[in-house]
Amino acid sequence: MKANIKELTKGIFKENPVFVIVLGLCPVLGVSTQVSNAIGMSAGVMFVLLFSNIIISALRKVIPGSIHIPAYIVVIASLVTITEMVMHAFVPSVYSALGVYLPLIVVNCIILGRAEAFASKNSVFDSILDAIGMSIGFALGLTLIALIRELFGSGTITLFPMGNFGGGINIPWFYDNPIRVMALAPGALLIMGYLKAFFDWNTSRKKDK
Amino acid sequence: MTKNLKYGLILLSICAVCAFALALTNSITAPVIRMQDEVNQKKALEAVSNGWTIGTRSEVTDQAYVTYTIDLLDNSSVAGYVVGLSTPGYGGQMTLVASYTNSGEMLFAQLLTHNETPGLGKKAEQEGYMDKFKGSGTEKAVPTSKSMLSDADAQAVSGSSVTFTAIAKAIAAGSEYVKNLGGAR
């Protein structure tokens, strides 16, 4: 039980895919302009990572080592395409919000990285726990960067519209005094750098103890 | 040789299962997506029609941006046109519809399909984005660069110049095309 909990939680802090393993940075930097984009992207990654881990773990004894990369890519690309088609048909607003970043999940290093490093060597149950933990870690990292960028860069927090709620929250003072660079690509790199430094400092501090 | 054949068969089996899963998903989702596209197209046409009656559609194949035109009828005479436009944006081809008077003045425009960057070029689908082009095309030129916009409008398209320029060029091309038609149809 303790080992299962460890498997589940390692992706959140100790092996956080964004700040510790530093995987999947392209979508992290590109999509983190708004909190709603970060949440949508995280949901897509969670679905694809969960099912790719399950399928690859289930087929780990069938797929020989020399053809594992093309086999994994076919599985991952198919799952992403299925996600894209289902979202387009049944949740068009989320599909529209994610735009070009949805098909880009195919090349997200976290998906292939976890398939290669974990799912291909472990049981289906452990792979499910790994996928959930890593997805939560990715979602937290991405949403944190998006929250900071949107707050400082635009003075807003954009969520999904629901009922009478339009989806956008304007934050006083920040809205009137935005730091535009935060909404642009250099802002993403700056925030990523500071947060990575914080995670590294926190890890080394724990080791020293 | 036997080993390679075995690997090939394994890959073929995985690809076949994936292809089947994709075909199955497509057969379920494609009709829903097609229906949504038709509804969106109809809504967009009604939104840009300026209250006039939507007439017949004519395909256009020899123009860079214009893909089709639809007559807008006021008491059975052509009062303007809806023009279907296709233009290359930052994330690929974008399609939009714009309505014009016979003289080429832009009335309304709406983005239909695109793959622009969320938070940047994607802002073009927001209500009010096309207002900066309203009334342009005749005495007032279509603003095709940020320097032709007011400070507030230039700020709004900051970070998405490629999207803005692509839309502006398409709207300008639509206006020119309508001027040549001049209510002749």
For residue range A9-22, what is the model confidence (pLDDT) as tens digits?
888 888 888 888 88
pLDDT at A202 over 60: yes
Distances (CA, A) of B164 to A142, B90, B99, B139, B148: 28, 10, 18, 21, 12
Q: Do B91 and A82 touch (CB under 8 A)?
A: no
Q: Hey, are the CB atoms on A59 and B29 less than 8 Å from each other?
A: no
A101 closest CB neighbour out of B10, B22, B118: B118
For residue A145, give every residue at least 6 positions away whose Cβ sits within 8 Å of its Cβ, in sequence order, or none: A18, A28, A32, A38, A188, A191, A192, A195
For the residues B145-161, what does the mean pLDDT come to? 78
Least confident window among A10-19, A148-157, B78-87: A10-19
At residue A135 the predicted structure's pLDDT band, cuts being 50, 70 and 90, is: very high
Instruction: Inform me whether the pLDDT recorded for B58 exceeds 60.
Output: yes
Q: Does the pLDDT of residue B183 top 60, yes or no? A: no
Q: Mean per-residue pLDDT for A96-110?
A: 79
Instruction: Please indicate whether, in this complex, the C-beta atoms of B36 and A86 are within 8 angstroms of each other.
Output: no
Dihedral pair phi/psi, residue A97, rounded to 5°: -65, -35
A162-174 mean pLDDT? 81
| Weakest mean pLDDT among A137-141, B9-13, B88-92, B114-118 | B114-118
The answer on pLDDT for B4 being more than 60 is yes
Instruction: Of A166-170, B23-27, B90-94, give the lowest mean pLDDT range.
Output: A166-170
Q: Is the pLDDT of residue A33 over 70?
A: yes
B117 vs A133, residue with greater confidence? A133
Q: Say if the Cβ atoms of B26 and A86 lie within 8 Å.
A: no
Contact between chains at B159 and A85 (C-beta distance less than 8 A): no
- For every residue of B36-91, DSSP letters joined together read HHHHHHHHHHHHHSTTPEEEEEEE--SSSSEEEEEEEEETTEEEEEEEEEEEEETT
Shortest distance, CA B170 to any CA of chain A (angstroms): 21
When the pLDDT of each residue in chain B is averaged and rounded to a whole number, the result is 86
Hey, where are the domains in chain B? Answer: 1-40, 49-181
Answer whether residue B182 shows pLDDT above 70: no
The CA distance from A124 to the nearest CA of chain B, in Å, is 18
pLDDT, mean of residues B76-91 = 88
Mutate to test the interface with A, among B4, B6, B14 (most CBs of A within 10 A): B14
Check CB contact under 8 Å for B10 and A63.
yes
Per-residue b/e over A97-128, b at no fewer than 16 CB within 10 Å? bbbbbbbbbbebbbbbbbbeebbbebeeebbb
Residue B141's pLDDT band (boundaries 50, 70, 90)?
Answer: confident
Q: Residue A36: what pLDDT?
A: 85
> CB–CB of A33 and B158 under 8 A?
no
Output phi, psi for A113, to 5 deg: -60, -45
Q: Can you give the C-alpha Rg of chain B in angstroms?
A: 21
* CA atoms in the 13 A half-sphere facing the CB of B96: 30
Q: How high is the pLDDT of residue B100?
A: 92
Shortest alpha-carbon distance between residue B172 and chain A (Å):
26
* pLDDT band at residue B32 using 50, 70 and 90 as cut-offs: very high
Per-residue pLDDT, B185? 53
User: What local confidence, expressed as pLDDT, does residue B13 receive?
Assistant: 94
**pLDDT value for A105:** 85
Query: pLDDT at position A126, please?
Result: 92
Q: CA of B20: which chain A residue's CA is closest?
A: A78
Q: Which residues of chain B from 113 to 172 reach within 8 Å of chain A, CB to CB?
A: 114-120, 122, 125, 158-159
Percentage of chain B modeled with pLDDT above 90: 35
**Distance (Å) from the C-alpha of residue B157 to the closest C-alpha of chain A?**
13
Q: What pTM did the predictor assign?
A: 0.73
Residue A24, pLDDT score: 82
Whether residue B18 lies within 8 A of chain A, CB to CB, comes out as yes
The pLDDT of residue A2: 76
Among A124, A102, A147, A154, smallest CA distance to A56 is for: A124
Answer whether B85's CB lies under 8 Å from B166's CB. Answer: no
Average pLDDT over residues A125-131: 93
- Between B57 and A100, residue with greater pLDDT: B57
State the count of interchain CB pairs (< 8 A) between A and B: 78
Residue A178 has pLDDT above 90, yes or no: no
Half-sphere exposure of B4 (CA within 13 A, CB side): 1
- pLDDT band at residue B55 using 50, 70 and 90 as cut-offs: confident
Contacts of A63 in chain B (CB under 8 A): 10, 14
Q: Are B137 and B104 in contact (CB under 8 A)?
A: yes
Q: Give pLDDT, residue B48.
A: 87
Q: Which residues of B touch A73 (CB under 8 A)?
A: none
pLDDT tier for residue B119 given thresholds of 50, 70 and 90 = low
For residue A27, the model assigns a pLDDT of: 80
Under 8 Å CB-to-CB from B37, ≥6 apart: which residues? none
Query: To the nearest whole angstrom, how far is the Cα of B29 from the nearest Cα of chain A?
Result: 5
pLDDT at A78: 95
pLDDT exceeds 80 at position B27: yes
For the record, the structure tokens of B13 come out as 């089996």
Contact at CB, A74 and B116, closer than 8 angstroms: no
Mutate to test the interface with B, among A52, A76, A85 (most CBs of B within 10 A): A85
* CA B97 – CA B112 distance, rounded (Å): 7
